[in-house]
Chain A
Amino acid sequence: EAQVTQNPRYLITVTGKKLTVTCSQNMNHEYMSWYRQDPGLGLRQIYYSMNVEVTDKGDVPEGYKVSRKEKRNFPLILESPSPNQTSLYFCASSLSLAGNQETQYFGPGTRLLVL
């Protein structure tokens, strides 16, 4: 089954404790992206990747890192989480290098609470 998976689905952590949210897709998609969803603000793009070893900042990259060592995986790293990073996070992927032309497939979401 074609899908985007994220882990964990739910996470409670404390300020400053490094964490990684994994994202994996099995569709051989080139474009992958991370978003955060906050009430009243909509989905905001954190980072995106056009291919292996090619990543770039979205609109809200501060406090996050990403890597794209393999085509299928695009982990989101919070080196020192803070309470303002409490949010619902979505990973998404699309087939084309021109991700802005292609439909994105979303993972199930990761709900993060930083105390």
Chain B
Amino acid sequence: ILNVEQSPQSLHVQEGDSTNFTCSFPSSNFYALHWYRWETAKSPEALFVMTLNGDEKKKGRISATLNTKEGYSYLYIKGSQPEDSATYLCAFSGGYQKVTFGIGTKLQVIP
């Protein structure tokens, strides 16, 4: 089983603060890195899929970067809002059609 690690496991920030978290994954046999947003009592929803080293993706106040050579991706949230409170999951695809998820970073934005 591949090792996909996310840090921190949980995070509390004040409304308006910017924050970021990390996903680390194996640097060999890389196919894609996915980020998902998972709100309590709902299903995970896709944020980004990144496939190339150096990829940067942005959706509103949320952005992500990818470094496949060193095996990490960062997710950034600018000006956090209470509605950003959720668990953010990364998922690594390394071939053979398998997908390995990290445990997630649980973000709580305090109004």
Contact = CB atoms under 8 A, between A and B. Distances in A.
A104 B34 contact: yes
A104 B46 contact: yes
A101 B93 contact: yes
B97 interface: yes
A24 B34 CA distance: 23
Interface magnitude class on chain A: 20 to 34
Contacts of A99: 93, 97, 99
Given A45-B98, A101-B32, 15 more contacts: A35-B101, A41-B103, A42-B89, A42-B102, A43-B89, A43-B91, A43-B101, A56-B96, A56-B97, A99-B97, A100-B97, A101-B49, A106-B45, A108-B43, A109-B43
26 contacts: A31-B97, A33-B99, A42-B89, A42-B101, A42-B102, A42-B104, A45-B98, A45-B101, A48-B97, A48-B98, A50-B97, A59-B98, A59-B100, A90-B43, A99-B93, A100-B31, A100-B99, A101-B31, A101-B32, A103-B46, A104-B34, A104-B46, A104-B99, A106-B44, A106-B45, A109-B43
Interface of B: 1, 31-32, 34, 42-46, 49, 51, 89, 91, 93-104
